[in-house]
């Protein structure tokens, strides 16, 4: 522990304050407490007081002792300080405590600080508080720190705030503020940290004050605050300031800003600097940069550096790198290392890997561990795992957990389950979430649900054109799903367009669905083409649909062949229609086939 030396005082002048800061205070702040005097003025001051001090003047002895103490001349300072202390000079008592502490006699130092503190010395009260805190006597430490703080002593206010924060007591903000308002930069930083959630605007002001006084962590946090607000240029300046002062996290953050601005080379230089200073995030960033360039060996080296720095993202990224190279055994090894260290996405990836090789029993605990740690994907995967075992209730529990965290596919599964259970309104809420998240299947199912819940449409008024009614919400969701490439939605949108009489739109949607492999789309497109007289093209689409298993398309082909007199071809398609169904189609196809057989045998 180091303590603050207090100036000795003479009758008509005051000596400079020599401050040697305590262990829990900011070193640069303490340095600013030193008097701004050059060697010549110190020498002149010393000479002026030495004569009086040697004659026994207590004020002169106190000042001279303080000067010699500040210069490091403990042997020269001690007799003068002891002489002044004997005459009741409180500054000398405080400074004698500082001297004794430097000599290695903390208990004797504390005795003199008590003498000075009782006489009203704030620096001595602060030093005494530090002494008791280091010995674990927190009540005594608080008492003396509070004496110093209430006397307006910045270091005392900071020390008291630090003690109160450690104990979780009230008053922390008040005393950090008191120290910060006197220019204590560490107090300004700590005050900003306290205010950052409740009053971010004031927090920013204190970050700025601390950063302007050279506090590198304050500069880092100020940069992060500005970056989050989109003020990237100023954020970069503060990151640079902090990075130049040796803050590895600022160098790393600056690298990301430069990368996003397109300057990969400068980004790499700052990441390299941060990684060498032990920043695992920067090492990971370098690994990712080299991996993207195809420099896998260099990437692997940096990922290992990240691991050595204690960043388990390095093991996870190394696993991803190995998996991309089909080095499955090594990927599993690194996933396991990261997963055992608590990396939730590594646990999820490891579970997926185990599931892919058929080890569902081994996968389940890793999915559970990842999900319990907050992995939304793992919660969804657990839902899939339990659903595959027909444990629907357990599956739904995990789907609901993932859905509540915004997982689109999980919300879809919850919606499907609720529709199945007849809880349409609850299902609608989840389907809306999933559809809003971009799920085409959810948009289609939401549209179908809304359509089923809607009252039947009113018949058009006399003279009102068919299809003049405004589009319903279900139609809008069908269209949203269709635009996302959902084939069944495309067919449904085509049907709705046809019902409105918009055959051009209907044909467009049917064709899009058919070309994507929808047999219903192909069948309906064939119907439209046949009505327009394009029977050969219609036959092509019906053939595609029938081959894909569409019974009605096969029946249409049978009828078409019969009309053209190709009885054998007609029989073939009738047999296919009978096989595919449904029942009504099978019956019609059987009658037609029978008729064609009679025709052939006639």
Q: Are 414 and 430 in contact (CB under 8 A)?
A: yes
For 310-324, the pLDDT digits (tens) are: 999 999 999 999 999
Mean pLDDT of 83-88: 94
Q: What is the pLDDT of residue 44?
A: 82
For 323-381, the pLDDT digits (tens) are: 999 999 999 999 999 999 999 999 999 999 999 999 999 999 999 999 999 999 999 99
For residue 393, the tally of other CB atoms under 10 A from its CB is 8
Q: What is the pLDDT of residue 550?
A: 96
Mean pLDDT of 422-438: 94
For residue 120, the tally of other CB atoms under 10 A from its CB is 11
Beta bridge partners of 9: 14
Given pLDDT bands bounded at 50, 70 and 90, which one contains residue 460? Answer: low
Q: What is the pLDDT of residue 133?
A: 97
Q: Which of 341, 342, 301, 348 is nearest to 321 (CA)?
A: 301
For 105-148, the pLDDT digits (tens) are: 999 999 999 999 999 999 999 999 999 999 999 999 999 999 99
Place of tokens 């004496």: 147
Q: What is the pLDDT of residue 27?
A: 35
Token digits of residue 331: 């990927």
Task: Please report, in angstroms and rounded to a whole number, the separation of the first and last CA atoms in the chain.
Answer: 118
Is the model's pLDDT at 28 over the cut of 70? no
DSSP string, 98-147: HHHHHHT-HHHHHHHHHHHHHTT-HHHHHHHHHHHHHTT-HHHHHHHHHH
Place of tokens 């992995």: 375
Q: Are 556 and 564 in contact (CB under 8 A)?
A: no
Given pLDDT bands bounded at 50, 70 and 90, which one contains residue 42? Answer: confident
Q: What is the pLDDT of residue 43?
A: 80
Q: Which of 521, 523, 511, 428 is nearest to 477 (CA)?
A: 428
Is the model's pLDDT at 158 over the cut of 80? yes
CA geometry: angle 565, 567, 568, nearest 5 deg: 140
Please give the C-alpha separations between residue 19 and each of 96, 126, 209, 257, 386, in angstroms, as whole numbers.
14, 12, 22, 40, 67
Q: What is the pLDDT of residue 599?
A: 79
Mean pLDDT of 1-18: 38
Q: In whole angstroms, give the CA distance from residue 40 to residue 43.
A: 5
Mean pLDDT for the chain overall: 90
For helices 440-453 and 424-436, the axis angle rounded to 10 degrees is: 150
How many helices (H) and strands (E) in the chain?
Answer: 35, 0
The pair phi, psi for residue 14, each rounded to 5°, is: -115, 140
Q: What is the pLDDT of residue 40?
A: 52
Given pLDDT bands bounded at 50, 70 and 90, which one contains residue 30? Answer: very low
Q: Which of 284, 212, 289 is nearest to 258 (CA)?
A: 289
Q: In whole angstroms, give the CA distance from residue 333 to residue 556.
A: 59
Q: Are 87 and 55 in contact (CB under 8 A)?
A: no
Ramachandran category for residue 343: left, alpha or beta (phi over 0 → left; psi -120 to 50 → alpha): beta
> At a CB cut-off of 8 Å and minimum separation 6, what does 572 contact?
558, 561
Q: What is the pLDDT of residue 468?
A: 54
Burial state string for 211-239 with b = 16 or more CB within 10 A and e = fewer than 16: bebebbbbbbbbbbbbbeeeeeeebbbbb
| Cis before 237? omega within 30 | no
Q: What is the pLDDT of residue 483?
A: 96
Q: What is the pLDDT of residue 48?
A: 87
Say what percent of the chain tops pLDDT 70.
91
Q: What is the pLDDT of residue 146?
A: 97
Q: In whole angstroms, give the CA distance from residue 191 to residue 161.
A: 10
For 408-425, the pLDDT digits (tens) are: 999 999 999 999 999 999
Q: What is the pLDDT of residue 151?
A: 95
- Please tell me whether the overall predicted TM-score, pTM, comes out greater than 0.75 for this model: no
Is the model's pLDDT at 463 over the cut of 60? no
Q: Which of the pair, 9 or 125, is modelled with greater confidence?
A: 125
Considering only 37-46, 62-71, 140-149, which range has the smallest mean pLDDT? 37-46
Is the model's pLDDT at 38 over the cut of 50? no
């Amino acid at each position: 522990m180091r303590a603050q030396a207090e100036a000795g005082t003479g009758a008509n002048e005051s000596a400079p304050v020599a401050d040697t800061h305590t262990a829990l205070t900011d070193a640069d702040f303490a340095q600013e407490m030193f008097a701004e005097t050059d060697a010549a003025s110190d020498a002149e001051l010393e000479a002026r007081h030495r004569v009086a001090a040697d004659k026994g003047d207590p004020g002169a002895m106190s000042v001279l002792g303080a000067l010699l103490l500040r210069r490091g001349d403990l042997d020269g300072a001690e007799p003068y300080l002891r002489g002044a202390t004997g005459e009741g000079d409180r500054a000398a008592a405080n400074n004698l405590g500082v001297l004794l502490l430097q000599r290695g006699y903390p208990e004797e130092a504390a005795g003199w600080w008590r003498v000075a503190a009782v006489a009203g010395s704030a620096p001595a009260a602060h030093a005494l508080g530090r002494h008791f805190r280091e010995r674990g006597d927190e009540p005594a430490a608080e008492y003396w720190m509070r004496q110093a703080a209430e006397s307006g002593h910045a270091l005392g206010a900071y020390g008291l705030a630090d003690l109160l924060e450690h104990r979780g007591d009230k008053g922390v903000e008040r005393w950090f503020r008191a120290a910060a308002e006197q220019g204590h930069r560490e107090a300004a930083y700590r005050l900003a940290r306290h205010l950052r959630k409740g009053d971010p605007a004031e927090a920013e002001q204190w970050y700025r004050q601390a950063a302007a006084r050279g506090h590198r962590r304050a500069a880092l946090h100020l940069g992060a605050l500005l970056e989050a607000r989109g003020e990237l240029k100023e954020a970069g300046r503060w990151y640079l300031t902090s990075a130049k002062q040796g803050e590895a996290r600022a160098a790393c953050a600056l690298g990301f800003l430069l990368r996003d601005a397109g300057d990969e080379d400068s980004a790499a230089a700052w990441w390299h600097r941060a990684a060498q200073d032990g920043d695992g995030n920067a090492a990971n960033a370098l690994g990712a940069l080299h991996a993207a360039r195809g420099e896998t060996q260099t990437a692997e080296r940096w990922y290992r550096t990240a691991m050595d720095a204690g960043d388990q993202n390095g093991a996870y990224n190394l696993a991803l790198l190995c998996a991309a190279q089909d080095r499955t055994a090594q990927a599993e090894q690194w996933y396991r290392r990261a997963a055992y260290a608590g990396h939730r996405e590594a646990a999820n990836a490891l579970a997926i890997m185990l599931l892919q090789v058929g080890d569902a029993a081994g996968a389940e605990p890793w999915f559970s561990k990842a999900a319990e740690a907050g992995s939304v994907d793992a919660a969804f995967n657990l839902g899939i795992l339990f659903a595959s075992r027909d444990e629907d209730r357990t599956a739904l529990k995990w789907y609901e957990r993932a859905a509540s965290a915004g997982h689109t596919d999980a919300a879809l599964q919850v919606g499907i389950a609720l529709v199945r259970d007849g809880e349409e309104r609850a299902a609608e809420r989840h389907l809306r979430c999933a559809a809003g998240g971009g799920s085409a299947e959810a948009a289609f199912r939401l549209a179908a649900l809304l359509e089923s819940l809607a009252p039947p449409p009113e018949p058009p008024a006399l003279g009102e054109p068919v299809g003049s009614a405004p589009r319903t919400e279900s139609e809008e969701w069908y269209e949203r799903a269709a635009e996302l490439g959902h084939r069944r939605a495309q067919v449904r949108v085509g049907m709705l367009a046809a019902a409105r009489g918009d055959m051009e739109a209907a044909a467009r949607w049917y064709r899009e669905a058919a070309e994507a492999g929808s047999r219903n789309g192909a069948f309906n497109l064939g119907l439209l083409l046949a009505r327009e007289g394009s029977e050969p093209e219609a036959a092509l689409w019906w053939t595609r649909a029938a081959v894909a298993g569409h019974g009605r398309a096969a029946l249409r082909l049978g009828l078409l062949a019969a009309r053209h007199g190709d009885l054998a071809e007609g029989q073939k398609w009738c047999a296919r229609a009978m096989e595919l169904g449904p029942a009504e189609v099978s019956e019609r196809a059987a009658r037609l086939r029978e008729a064609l057989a009679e025709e052939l045998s006639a």
